[in-house]
Amino acid sequence: MTPTREIYWNIDYHLVMYFFAVIMLGTFVYGVVRRYRLWKIGQPETRWKDSWQGIKDIIVYGFGHKRILKDFTPGVMHLAVLVGFVFLFFATAIITLQADFGINIFKGALYVFIKITTNLFGLLATLGVLYLYYRRYVKRPDKLDNKQDDLIALTLVFVILVTGFLLQGLRMAGEHDPWAVYGFAGYWMIEPLQAMFSQEQLLAMHKFTWWFHMFVAFGFIAYLPYSKLFHIFLGPLNQFLRKREPMGVPELIDFEDESQETFGLSEFKQLSWKAIFNSDVCIRCGRCQENCPATVSGKHLNPKQIIQDIKVRAEEEYQAVCQAKKEAKQAGRQAGVMASGETATAVEGTAALAIPPGRGLIGEVIQEQDIWDCTTCRSCEQQCPVFVEHVDKTVAMRRNLVLMESRFPSEAQLAFRNMENNGNPWGIGWNKREEFLKGLDVPTLAENPEAEILYWPGCSGAFDARNQKVSAALVKLLRAANVNFAILGNEEKCCGDSARKLGNEFLYQTLAAENIEVMNGYGVKKIITQCPHCFQTLGHDYPQMGGKYEVVHHTTYLKELLDSGKLKLKDLANLGKDLKVTYHDSCYLGRYNKIYSEPREILKAVGLKVIEMKRTKDKSFCCGAGGGRMWLEEHGGERINELRTDEAMATGADIIGTACPFCLTMINDGISAKEEAGDKTKALDIAEVLAQRV
């Protein structure tokens, strides 16, 4: 005998199912079309690029759960539910091919495979749903913002799974299935069911359960576009459409374009369709807020809530658009101008102009202080399993406040004025920039035009007393490796990172244009910088304005010098033996540019024992200085840098390694605030550590 079963066993009038299937599909399609129309009220944005990479991202992040599995237990359980439904869908598709298209394949080896996989992975999916119930309603009821939709979604999935197994057991008990052993999840029910119920009762229960299971499954499909379950489709689509590298480069504003009436983002109507789409993709898992330094430190800013507030605002706008179109059509009919499609289109276009403004994005949807509290660390985006984008909207809103409203924190005003007048945020005279490095006998490009590498110390390396020590260490290392390098000296100005991230795009472009003109004039090809913010800006932002250079961060370059043998290490006499170090990953070096291993390998090479903090690498906790917040005061909650310093000190390390001048400053301040340990722990840049061995 060939393993198989009758598909519609014990079911009369099963064709009625197709009537309900039409209703289900109609409801589903209507919901999808409604969401699509809502997204379309946003501004155009091109995202259909690099399709092959998008497909790979769906495989890796969607089916592979690469990001979800970072939170291991819930990640595994979510994966179990996904895999279970994949196999259940496959089984349903095979049955549909045989029942509706006459393709007789639900038999033999394929039948056995389907029975085993659906039972195995169906059980795992049931276990996964039970865990998600436990996590959401028992383990973390206060941390997850449970809504009715969450309960409905989980319950629908659970009922489908349980009734499916019950239906299988009832069929096996009533049909006396010779292949029942392959459906092991229902096999154990056979004897208890046969002992408890008569044959007639089993048939009646099977019939009822079949129809109930069918209605729940159809309801599940119909409900998808109206619930968080829609992320089954939207999540992979957003992974396909995600922004590719380089990360964190804002759109360049053309200030000579006289057609632009406004700069930045302040109104909902200015959002792109992709920004609105993001708000639908968000599943409120909370990973963004759990890793946001502003949220964790007690600030009002909550990246998840901002996305959800945009979703609410999108619904308001969509309702207003629909109402305006309805009123316009009614007015058109009354005036007798609806005779042609062309006129109808014109009326609808007129309706769009009649939409009331609604709540403003800044102030009414998103609090203004939230916009300034963001450190642009992108931890929210890095942890999001479906690649919702937060930071670019924040920078765009800052642009509006700065360029259109001249409304920004008073500390930012001082930083802007200093950059305008002296080319650095400290406000120290521009003609003093080269003093420290000239004191180390470092030549300028004007003095050494044959230099192979331009060393870019940045404002911190040139003016900040603590970071001047890093510059001195790096100069020592470059000389020890016989590198032919030079600086711009007084011709160098601030790269403009802080100005750009704080929203002052005009100031950024002014600084960038001057730097690019100078470097292109010297024919600069390769730049080494000790600041990740300079590294990011020179390497990824400057090409927008014609400044295309090979930019290398000093940790990467120093690792290359060690590997090539150009840097020779001495014994541990100057550094000390048996010292432990913990390394703090800079957001702009790590998350923005994926440089994690080089600094650690250098620390290991000099003989230090590297101890990792609780939050490290792509989950590293921000020092609090990114996004221009180096120049702003913190308002409310705890200080971010002190929280990070606490994590570093908790490792028991003797040294806190850094690779960013902002991070070094913030960690040093954090150590100073911990008087009891301030004389035991030191914060050192990677270059300073390495210089003690050369």
CB 379 within 8 A of CB 292: yes
Dist CA 426 CA 300 (whole Å): 29
Helices (H) and strands (E) in the chain, counts: 29, 8
CB 120 within 8 A of CB 199: no
Tell me: pLDDT of 339 over 60. Answer: no
- Number of structural domains, the chain? 4
The average pLDDT across 588-597 equals 97
Residues 434 and 510 in one domain: yes
Tell me: pLDDT of 155 over 50. Answer: yes
Determine, yes or no, domain membership for 546.
Answer: yes
Dist CA 207 CA 12 (whole Å): 9
Nearest CA-CA partner of 659 in 479, 535, 550: 535
Residues 88 and 137 in one domain: yes
Residues 535 and 683 in one domain: no
User: What residue type is assigned to position 133 of the chain?
Assistant: Y
Peptide bond into 246 cis (omega under 30): yes
What are the tens digits of pLDDT across the range 531-568? 999 999 999 999 999 999 999 999 999 999 999 999 99
Determine, yes or no, domain membership for 574.
Answer: no
Residues in the chain: 694
Instruction: Quote the tokens at residue 412.
Output: 């930012």
**CA neighbours closer than 13 Å in the CB half-sphere of residue 501:** 27
What stretch of H or E contains 312?
helix 303-335
Nearest CA-CA partner of 83 in 161, 14, 159: 161
* pLDDT range class, residue 345, cuts 50, 70, 90: low
CB 132 within 8 A of CB 77: yes
What are the tens digits of pLDDT across the range 43-80? 999 888 888 999 999 999 999 999 999 999 999 999 99
Residues spanned by the domain of 368: 268-333+358-405
Dist CA 213 CA 300 (whole Å): 45
Which has more confidence, 636 or 524? 524
Nearest CA-CA partner of 419 in 492, 527, 521: 492
Residues 21 and 147 in one domain: yes
Alpha helices in 540-675 (DSSP H): 554-564, 597-605, 640-649, 661-673
Nearest CA-CA partner of 384 in 471, 294, 279: 279
Tell me: pLDDT of 515 over 90. Answer: yes
Give the model's pLDDT for residue 415. 97
* pLDDT range class, residue 142, cuts 50, 70, 90: confident
Orientation of helix 16-39 relative to helix 199-223, angle to 10°: 20
Give the model's pLDDT for residue 533. 98
Instruction: Quote the tokens at residue 10.
Output: 């014990």
Determine, yes or no, domain membership for 575.
Answer: no
Residues 19 and 149 in one domain: yes
Which CATH number belongs to the domain containing residue 676 in this structure? 3.40.50
Tell me: pLDDT of 678 over 50. Answer: no
Cα of 173 vs its chain's centroid, Å:
50
Nearest CA-CA partner of 276 in 263, 285, 265, 287: 265
CB 549 within 8 A of CB 525: yes
Determine, yes or no, domain membership for 539.
Answer: yes
Residues 524 and 600 in one domain: no
Dist CA 93 CA 116 (whole Å): 16
Determine, yes or no, domain membership for 83.
Answer: yes
Residues 399 and 490 in one domain: no
The average pLDDT across 645-659 equals 95
User: What residue type is assigned to position 219 of the chain?
Assistant: G
Dist CA 640 CA 622 (whole Å): 7
Determine, yes or no, domain membership for 154.
Answer: yes
Give the model's pLDDT for residue 300. 95
Which CATH number belongs to the domain containing residue 166 in this structure? 1.20.950.20
Which CATH number belongs to the domain containing residue 363 in this structure? 1.10.1060
Instruction: Quote the tokens at residue 397.
Output: 């809103």
Tell me: pLDDT of 351 over 50. Answer: no
Residues 587 and 443 in one domain: no
Residues 50 and 196 in one domain: yes
DSSP string, 387-414: ----HHHHHHHHHIIIIIS----HHHHH
Tell me: pLDDT of 330 over 90. Answer: no
What is the overall mean pLDDT for the chain? 93
Determine, yes or no, domain membership for 3.
Answer: no
CB 580 within 8 A of CB 654: yes
CB 268 within 8 A of CB 358: yes
Q: Counting Cβ atoms within 10 Å, is residue 382 exposed (0-12), middle (13-18) or buried (19+)? A: buried
The average pLDDT across 324-346 equals 67
Give the model's pLDDT for residue 354. 66
The average pLDDT across 603-619 equals 94
Find tokens 């002190």 and name the residue: 642
Give the model's pLDDT for residue 143. 76
Residues 495 and 466 in one domain: yes
What are the tens digits of pLDDT across the range 246-294? 899 999 999 999 888 899 999 999 999 999 999 999 999 999 999 999 9
Residues 38 and 178 in one domain: yes
Residues 365 and 467 in one domain: no
Determine, yes or no, domain membership for 261.
Answer: no
